[in-house]
């Protein structure tokens, strides 16, 4: 069956990267801000997630919208909220050993962007690529799930906690995923 017949509306492969590739998602606190925000967007805004992986400094998703909101609006709000919440958490986390260094990187990136007041967390844009072909969907799905394997974090994709690979292996992951 054609993938486009099994998914609702437009679907995108999206990559978002932390400025300077700062490895902030090595700490559970920051990972869970991403997860909680994605779950909120699913429940309240109609975000559909077909696949995802959160690495130490970037997030890959295959996602779309159920029609309640335009996908680009959902994703804009997700990035805006997570940026503010992660920075707020980082600023207030006296136990974070890399706090000053990370804030310095985010402040420096913000000074070079007229739209930013203080700190910039995400790199500009999100590299959203429309998915219209089965082969392209499968290529990106494999790429997402193999990311932690290639980084030598796990031997099997489904063993990586911050990914939808477990959902595609018949289990249940941390987020609701539309398995196709």
The pTM assigned to this predicted structure is 0.92
As for how many domains the chain has, the answer is 1
Look at residue 28 in the predicted model and tell me its pLDDT. 95
- Residue 175 counted as domain residue: no
- The DSSP 8-state label assigned to residue 117 in this structure reads S
> Between the CA of residue 70 and those of 8, 66, 67, 73, what are the distances in Å?
12, 9, 7, 5
- Residue 24 counted as domain residue: yes
- Residue 180 counted as domain residue: no
- Residue 152 counted as domain residue: yes
d(Cα 38, Cα 146) in Å, to the nearest integer? Answer: 21
- Residue 145 counted as domain residue: yes
- Residue 21 counted as domain residue: yes
Residue-by-residue pLDDT tens, the chain, 180 positions:
355 544 556 899 999 999 999 999 999 999 999 999 999 999 999 999 999 999 999 999 999 999 999 999 999 999 999 999 999 999 999 888 999 999 999 999 888 777 777 899 999 876 789 898 899 999 999 999 999 999 999 999 999 999 999 999 999 999 999 999
Identify the domain containing residue 39 by its residue range: 3-168
Look at residue 5 in the predicted model and tell me its pLDDT. 46
Contact 111, 117 (CB under 8 A): no
Among residues 54, 56, 19, 23, the alpha carbon closest in space to that of 39 is found at 54
Contact 49, 167 (CB under 8 A): no
Read off the CATH number of the domain in which 46 is found. Answer: 3.30.70.1290
Helix (H, G, I), strand (E, B) or coil at 110: helix
3-state secondary structure 35-65: HHHHHHHHHHHCEEEEEEEECCCEEEEEEEE
Contact 81, 88 (CB under 8 A): no
- Residue 178 counted as domain residue: no
- Residue 176 counted as domain residue: no
């Amino acid at each position: 069956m054609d993938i486009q017949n099994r998914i609702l509306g437009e679907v995108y492969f999206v990559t978002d990267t932390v400025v300077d590739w700062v490895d902030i998602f090595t700490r559970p606190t920051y990972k869970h801000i991403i997860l909680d925000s994605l779950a909120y967007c699913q429940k309240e805004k109609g975000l559909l997630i077909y696949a995802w992986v959160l690495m130490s400094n970037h997030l890959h998703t295959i996602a779309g919208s159920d029609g309640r909101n335009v996908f680009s609006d959902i994703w804009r709000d997700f990035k805006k909220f997570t940026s503010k919440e992660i920075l707020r958490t980082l600023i207030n986390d006296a136990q974070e050993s890399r706090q000053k260094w990370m804030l310095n990187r985010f402040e420096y990136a913000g000074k070079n962007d007229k739209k930013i007041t203080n700190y910039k967390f995400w790199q500009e844009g999100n590299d959203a690529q429309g998915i219209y072909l089965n082969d392209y969907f499968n290529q990106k799905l494999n790429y997402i799930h193999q990311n932690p394997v290639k980084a030598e974090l796990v031997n099997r994709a489904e063993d990586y906690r911050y990914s939808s690979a477990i959902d595609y292996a018949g289990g249940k992951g941390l987020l609701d995923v539309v398995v196709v």
